[in-house]
Structure 1
Amino acid sequence: MPRKKGNKKQRGDDEEAGIDADVAVEQNDEVTKANADAGKAKKREKKKDKKGKKGKSAKQNEDSDDDNKIETRLDKLALQDEDDEEDEDYVPASSNKGKGGGFALLGDMEDEMPEEEENDEENEKNVEEKTDSTPEKNDEKKDEPEKGAKGEKKKKSRKEERRERQRAQLNQQLEEMTLTSNFSVSQRETTAKGAMLENATDIKVSNFSISARGKELFVNANLTIAAGRRYGLVGPNGMGKTTLLCHIAQRALAIPPNIDVLLCEQDVKADDTPAFEAVLNSDKKRLALIEEEKKLLAESEAGNNTNSERLKQVYEEMIAIGADSAESRARRILSGLQFTQEMQMRATKHFSGGWRMRVSLARALFLEPTLLLLDEPTNHLDLNAVIWLDNYLQNWKKTLLVVSHDQQFLDDVCTDIIHLDNQKLDYYRGNFNAFKKMLKQKQKEQLKEYEKQEKRLRELKSRGRSSKAAEKETKTSQMQKNKGKKSKGDPVGEEDAPVELLKKPREYQVKFKFPNPPPLNPPILGLHNVQFGYHDQPLLFKNLDFGIDLNSRIAIVGPNGVGKSTFLKLISGELSPLQGSHTKNHRLRIGVFNQHSADQLTMHESPVEYLQRNFNLDYQSCRKLLGQFGLAGHAHTIKIADLSGGQKARVALADMSSRQPDVVILDEPTNNLDIESIDALGDAINDYSGGVIIVSHDARLILETSCQLWIVEDQDIQEIDGDFDDYKREILEALGELEEKEAEKKNQKKK
């Protein structure tokens, strides 16, 4: 370091001064006196020289301190712990400090670095100017070995190279981070290296953290995905499930390079490409092999027989990817998603956004990636398509990670459940039903552990320990306990996450309630000999007869496009029949909730202001009602326009409940609700004494509310003779899926 070199020079100068003094003693008296005067003058000059050298050494120390500051700034980017402890294992990906998300601090640091280097150069120039002003010092510098000067130069270049490498590493991570700057991510470097193994088939990311706009979504969480398993990711709305899928898909986390990941989240491009071709052409490898096959065959016909070996390899690759069955697979998937033969050949630009999402889902299923990510795949599907998708994914051979609020879908499809809770990921073997039982038991155990921890903290504080010391001692004992629990099969080299104090388990509870109506005399609500169709369109209903009372629980089912939503509008009186009559008790109040109910709210008002204006409720009553419907407290007083889709849905449900309806009509009510809210909706319907009509793709809601199934078909509506399982079997038989399943079972037995 520069400081050591400066000290060495000073020691050399002191030795030279000592030699001069010894020589002066050996001279005779007269010469001694003259030389002594000269020696004193020299010593005064050398003292000045030493002061100059000390100044230079101080400057070098300042340069060294500047370098240390730069390195410290770089290290700070790696810190994610709340108590700002240094951890050498973190990769300095980004930080959530400063403006513009996690990348602002890095940008500020890089802007400052050139200024610090310029300051270094200015300091060196100042030292050189001071050195030039003392001739004796220059002479001494010339006498120094040139090798030492070269070594000093070499050291400076290494520092610069090190800083450049660190900046390059940070810049590379910024380029790889394709997510928006609203997110910041950190993960262990050891994990990142391990995930880069070329032959890795599983995903294991330890101790990663993700924050969005200053809100921590994941803190020291662990992601483990085993090949060939089908995972369901569950947790309350707004906790980061979709964010995690996006980070996996964009490889912001350390995903092995040989695992291809596909997230189905956007609809296909609207152009003249038929839906069938949009699915078929998504397999670029197959298209490339077909083109190469045509080229090789043309060359063979022209007399070139040298490419026969390559042609054979092309055929083998096409067999391996199942190119011969590609068209039949594409048609099977589209048919299952309720595309008719005519719709399969229709250009994508003629489909609505919901149908283009189905094309996108069909492409994802057709491509069969190593890891398929699905975010609420049932939201854009009707019940028939959900039944098919449920059956299709049960036979999915590769890895699947799905976010869904449909409990029946999760029960049938998933082999494992990942629960997002308290910014961590917890893993459970089995389907959703098994998960619910295990979670209940785990929450009881967590509450006991939390109570033990609080008891220990109180005991330590009563013995005179400060709060900080008591917490530290509790963490230490917890760390030792965790090490004792660590199994032999745990990976070597992976470091444990920082130990944290247990938090009190809080059960996420939502409770919906619809006020019970007073009794009404029949007829309550009905349609008689109704005929209806839209302008210039075929009739949807002909000679339709239907009626309900306050005890009715009815679920309307049927394929897409047969008129289920239209039927609800007819029965509610929103549409008038072309022929026939619509009967309704004059005292009857109808509550309607559909996908567009939230759009009818007053967007410039807050939820509290909206309820106060419409129902003359006081402030606290409004907040209590919104809280019962699962709307978070901070959302009570912000504009409805700024709420998410799920939050608006809760306000709309609270609005419908406040109108005290006698009959409730629900059209796809589960689309923006999480699992806990759907359970609460089912409980509210069961406790409600009024009439209920539902159109929903959520099988669990239909089953738990004991609804009678009525099917819309052949321009009429009729009650189904049988239960939901009978209807499900009928759908799969019509699609030929049961025959396909039987054939697969026979093939497996033969093998």
Structure 2
Amino acid sequence: MLSITDISIRIAGRLLIDNSTVQIAPGARVGFVGRNGVGKSTLFHAIRGDLPLESGSITLPPRWRIGSLAQEAPDGPESLINVVLKADSERDVLLRESETATDPHRIAEIQTRLVDIDAHSAPARAAAILSGLGFSTADQARPCSEFSGGWRMRVALAATLFSAPDLLLLDEPTNYLDLEGTLWLEDHLANYPRTVIVISHDRDLLDTSVDQILHLDRGKLTLYKGTYSSFEEQRAMREMLDAKHARRQADERKRLQAFVDRFKAKASKARQAQSRVKMLERMKPVTALVTQDVREITFPAPEKLLSPPIIAVDDVSVGYDPKKPVLNRITLRVDTDDRIALLGSNGNGKSTLVKLLAGKLQPFSGRITRAEKLSVGYFAQHQVDELNLDASPYDHVRRLMPDAPETKVRGRVGAIGFSGKAGDTLVRSLSGGEKARLLLGLATFFGPNMIILDEPTNHLDIDSRAALAEAINDFPGAVIMVSHDRYLIESCADQLWVVANKSVTTYDGDLDEYRRMVLSIGDTRERGGDRIKESAKPARTRGERRTPLKQRIAEAEAEVERITGIIAKIDTALALPDLFTRDPKQAAQLSRARASAEAALRRAEEDWLEASSEFDEAAG
């Protein structure tokens, strides 16, 4: 059991946790929630022993292993699969010792322990985790250094999950994932056999994967039984809902009902209409979308609504290399008030599509027609790097309003969420959520006709995500979004487009159906493109395609040789003339170890045959 008893934690003079106590039972799956900056990550540091307590104690069972996501992405020439396998340090140490051990008794101990920890099935388990997080079989054999930082953070997550610690601490694990990876992670955590605590602002993950909610508010820790939805109900029962709160929920009900009434008779929208009916049924009168103290998000309305379609794409091919387009011969249209969510694994072209629609990429072929005077607001997380760290929100707004009076500029700064002294805070001192709010305000500053949002919810807390959903629903223009947040998509999107296989198609099901489809595909998913560093993006030659297969063949051959050596050592131990009469228990352990090693040898040989076959095909 994890016992947190009367702890207080103070950072830089600020009391974050004040004399709090909570007990977390073994096997519990806990979602850890609270507003940004209240001290959730700080508590993780304290649990790991990296931060001293001002008072109180944190105790765990003496043999528990704690696992958490590395702060830095792995790098170097090792293949992804080997990076993940080495995360199980006990297995790694035992395997290295097994290669040099000569004493029959020690060989028996090593092999027995390897059987106990299921070491020989580890490559298959590691491969399954990497596949779930978006890496194809070929990717897993490639050097870690070939991948971009975001994809290497996925490798770090895979390594943490593979090590299967007794206490798994995850801090916003979906930040580097697409929707498909998030859906896989939700399923994986829901079946995690040990204790897990996950800091997340993703409502669906907290409703799907956990059975308790730990809430940190005003320095106090409170543990609630149930999912996040249950937690909201329990907490809301303790609070009085104000009129503004009730009005917001009524508006949301009205919007959902309008969608149902409008599309329930339309065959292509029937499933999405049914999804909205489910949302209405789940909406409890006591549940608050946004707490009273959350800052609202607003998008300025365009001066004039344009006649539809505002964008028409006809037989367009687009990408970064004319010889290898990312999207090929796509035809689509965007109307004035569309709410479109893009689905599909990272690397399939979602970002390429939004860049095309935003006018940041020109087509290789085909035609794209835009409404006259169309203006587009474009938000993407990488734009954080384009902010001036030594300027304030006021400075950024002033540059957009050079001739405006001071009061008007201050008013606009406050409207995007930085009132009073907050408007003069340097960007380098802002939190991730505050930077996201600033970017949203700047991207939509002049009232665009269409807003494109590429992963807008990273670093936003749950209440701010709800505020963003309200802002989208209140905006009269078109919105196109890429997000791994199911709540945002279900709250706002009227259309689902799947970007895959160099094409864009409409999806008439709801996200529950899409989730089932993604999980059923499992490790057959193939990802590409965006995960690779820019230097690796050009089309790979036949020789380059064979390089990872050569490495995979070499690794399989080495594994066959290693396991063959282990079997030989076990046979030597079993050949001792008095073994079965002197120590029948050890003889039985060695026999089980040999059977396990034989099974691992068969798997290694099958992997060698598969890689060799793929290599021959690539050579042909």
Q: What TM-score does the superposition give when structure 1 sets the normalisation length?
A: 0.59
1:661 to 440, 448, 452: 448
Question: Residue 309 of structure 1: CA displacement?
Answer: 4.1
* Aligned with 1:255 (options 37, 54, 59): 59
Counterpart Cα distance in 2 of 1:596 and 1:374: 23
Matched, 1:513 2:317: no
Which whole-Å CA distance do the structure 2 matches of 1:626 and 1:443 have between them? Answer: 31
Equivalent position amino acid for 1:358 in 2: R
Say whether residues 1:608 and 2:413 are aligned partners. Answer: no
The residue number in structure 2 matching 1:337 is 133
**2:449 is the counterpart of 1:671:** no
**Change over 3 Å in CA distance of 1:611–1:684 after alignment to 2:** same
For 1:579, the equivalent position in structure 2 comes to: 365
- Bigger RCO of structures 1 and 2 (CA < 8 A, at least 6 apart): 2
The residue that corresponds to 2:333 in the other structure is 547
In the alignment, which residue of structure 2 is the partner of 1:107?
none
Whole-angstrom distance in 2 between the partners of 1:582 and 1:561? 23
Partner of 1:99 in structure 2?
A: none
Q: Secondary structure at the match of 2:176?
A: coil
State the 1:613 CA deviation: 3.8
Aligned to 1:59: none
Among 320, 341, 350, the residue aligned to 2:146? 350
| Match of residue 498 from structure 2 | 711
Query: Contact between 1:329 and 1:366, CA under 8 Å: does it hold in 2?
Result: yes
How many residue pairs align between the two structures? Answer: 468
- Alpha-carbon separation, structure 2, partners of 1:534 and 1:572: 15
**C-alpha distance in structure 1 between counterparts of 2:112 and 2:106, whole Å:** 10
Q: Is the 8 A contact 1:631 1:650 kept in 2?
A: no
Distance 2:305 2:202 in 1: 34
Which of 418, 426, 438 is the equivalent residue of 2:234? 438
Aligned residues: CA RMSD: 2.3
- 1:556-584 deviations in Å (ceiling 9; x for gaps): 11112111101100011011111122211
| The one of 720, 723, 727 aligned to 2:514 | 727
Pick the aligned partner of 2:31 from 224, 232, 242: 232
Query: In structure 2, what is the Cα distance between the partners aligned to 1:412 and 1:632?
Result: 37
- Say if 2:216 and 2:222, in contact at 8 Å, map to a contact too: yes
For residues 351-408 of structure 1, give each alpha carbon's deviation from its aligned partner in whole angstroms, at most 9, with x where no partner exists.
1111111111111111111111111100001111111111111100111111111111
Within the candidate set 214, 218, 221, 1:422 is matched to 218
User: What amino acid is aligned across from residue 432 of structure 1 in structure 2?
Assistant: Y
User: Deviation at 1:602?
Assistant: 4.2
Query: Given the superposition, is the C-alpha separation of residues 649 and 417 from structure 1 closer, same or farther in structure 2, using an over 3 Å criterion?
Result: same
CA contact under 8 A between 1:593 and 1:667: conserved in structure 2?
Answer: yes
Inter-CA distance 737–675: structure 2 relative to 1 (3 Å threshold): farther
1:265-309 deviation per Cα after TM superposition (whole angstroms, max 9, x unaligned): 32443111000011112212112222333444xx3xxxxxxx444
The match for 2:9 is 210
Q: Distance in 1 between matches of 2:321 and 2:451?
A: 29
Structure of larger gyration radius? 1
Q: 1: CA distance between counterparts of 2:236 and 2:365?
A: 55
1:371 alignment counterpart: 167
Q: Is the 8 A contact 1:612 1:618 kept in 2?
A: no
Q: 2:434 aligns with which of 643, 647, 653?
A: 647
Greater Cα offset, 625-634 or 325-334: 625-634
Distance (whole Å) between structure 2 residues aligned to residue 612 and residue 596 of structure 1: 22
Aligned to 2:43: 244
* CA pair 372-621 structure 1, distance change in 2 beyond 3 A: farther
| Equivalent runs, 1:468-547 vs 2, <5 Å | 507-517=292-302, 518-535=304-321, 538-547=324-333
Aligned equivalent of 1:397? 193
1:612 Cα offset (Å): 3.5
Query: 1:604, 1:274 → 2: CA distance?
Result: 39
Q: What are the ranges of 5 or more consecutive residues in structure 2 without an aligned counterpart?
A: 242-290, 526-620
Confirm or deny that 1:278 pairs with 2:83.
yes
Q: How far apart are residue 417 of structure 1 and its match? A: 0.7
Q: Secondary structure at the match of 2:223?
A: strand
In structure 1, C-alpha distance between the alignment counterparts of 2:95 and 2:399, rounded to whole Å: 66
Q: Distance in 1 between matches of 2:491 and 2:473?
A: 8
Structure 1 unmatched runs, 5+: 1-201, 300-306, 446-505, 739-751
Which stretches of structure 1, 4 residues or more, deviate above 6 A after TM superposition? none
Percent identity for Structure 1 against Structure 2: 38
Query: More displaced, 592-601 or 725-734?
Result: 592-601
* Corresponding residue of 1:687: 474
Other-structure match for 1:325: 121
> Alignment partner of 2:312: what SS?
strand
For residues 493 and 353 of structure 2, the distance between their equivalents in structure 1, rounded to whole angstroms, comes to 21
Distance 1:730 1:655 in 2: 37
Provide the C-alpha distance between the structure 2 equivalents of 1:242 and 1:617, rounded to a whole number of angstroms: 41
Instruction: Say if 1:526 and 1:584, in contact at 8 Å, map to a contact too.
Output: yes
Q: Secondary structure at the match of 2:451?
A: strand
CA contact (8 A) 1:626 1:651 kept: no
Give secondary structure in 2 for the equivalent of 1:244: helix
